[in-house]
Amino acid sequence: MRLLSGPTWMTVSRYVDFAFTSLAIPINLLLLYCIVTKSVKGIGRYKWLMAYFSCQSIFFSILASVTHMSFHTIGGSFMMFTLSNPLHLPPWGIWVLLGGCCVSVGYVLLTLAAQQMDMKRKTYFFGWRMVYFFLAMLIVAVVYGGCGFVGIHLTPEKDFDIRERMAKEYNVSADKIHYVAVEYFTRDANGTRKWNYSSTGTALALNFVFTCMVIVIIYCGCTTYFRTKQGIDKLNDKLKLQRMLFRALLVQTATPTILIFLPCIIFYALPFFEIPLGVDANILSITLVIYPAVDPIGVLFIMKDYRKFIAVQSCVACVSLETSLVAKVLKQEV
């Protein structure tokens, strides 16, 4: 049973995309400003990882908005696609943008993993060790980008069949559909599975990298929690700051778990068992564009200095508004 029809999913996702991209950019810019100008000295170089995380969220929001990325599953295949081409790019240009969206999601997870590791030991990603971070970025780019481009070895017949089936689902012409896809297997006339080994291999590589990053995030988060809990009786300024950073990081872990990890796991796994999602796979496109707008809010209100800055600015804005209204009323009375 479908939740919504294909055209309805496209309409809903466009409105959600516009609304949350409009929120994500200013909220992340505000967080970036607070990180750079309002962070206490005790945070040290860790703030640059936080700043990079905000920049990556802004970049992902813009890229997702331009591509209007959507998701679909057919049998043993899953794909990212778009019906939009506002820049009038050739097919390979759209594939690059879709691949960029995949890589950008991977970078969000990688940066979050780096933040968790750096909370545990503050020497992992600074100085000459930055090479490790850039190497990890390269691996994520190759795996996430390659998953889309190496994916299906298309014959003209297979490509035509996919486009026609999707065109029928979304009530558009086949030439408007641009996609990158991964195919686990197909079935022959006898119903026997025919595995696409190269495509399945890239999917396994993607799932391996994805799982490793999630494990790092959970492991480092748990060890940091227990280490912080053990020092609860020694609440000096340094430990207070560490606990505050941990709370912020805990929110930054819970948010992608709900909006990225779980939807992606479902999206990757169900086609392997031929459990149909079809057009309802677009739930993932909605959760992905919501994430960059929701994630920074927790950090802004958990970090004491950021919260104070927002409160002061809000009071100033309220006083200015009240003053202007009073002046307007007095002017009318005169």
Look up the CATH number of the domain holding residue 257: 1.20.1070.10
Instruction: Please indicate, yes or no, if residue 331 is contained in any of the structural domains.
Output: no
Give the pLDDT of residue 229: 61
89 belongs to a structural domain = yes
Evaluate whether residue 307 is within a structural domain: no
Q: Which domain holds residue 283?
A: 6-302
**71 bridge partner residues:** 80
pLDDT for 25: 94
Q: Evaluate whether residue 311 is within a structural domain.
A: no
**Within a domain: 51:** yes
- The total number of structural domains in the chain stands at 1
| 313 is a domain residue | no
Contact predicate 21/289, CB 8 Å: yes
**Other residues' Cβ atoms within 10 Å of the Cβ of residue 174:** 14
Q: What is the pLDDT along the chain (334 residues), one digit of tens a residue?
A: 788 999 999 999 999 999 999 999 999 999 999 988 888 776 766 677 778 778 888 888 888 888 888 999 988 888 889 988 877 888 778 777 877 777 777 777 777 677 666 655 555 555 666 676 677 777 777 776 666 566 555 677 888 888 899 999 999 998 888 888 888 888 888 888 888 887 788 778 777 877 877 777 777 767 766 666 665 455 556 667 777 777 777 787 788 888 888 888 888 888 888 888 899 999 999 999 999 999 888 888 888 888 888 888 878 766 676 676 666 665 666 5
Task: List C-alpha distances in Å: 253 to 215, 244, 257, 267, 302.
Answer: 12, 14, 6, 20, 14
**Beta-strand relationship, 178-183 and 185-187:** unpaired
Closest CA to 74 of 166, 204, 199, 197: 166
Dihedral angle, C-alpha 199, 9, 65, 259, nearest 10 °: -70
| Token representation of residue 73 | 């599953």
Query: What is the predicted pLDDT for the residue at 12?
Result: 94
Is position 24 within any domain?
Answer: yes
Q: Is residue 259 domain-resident?
A: yes
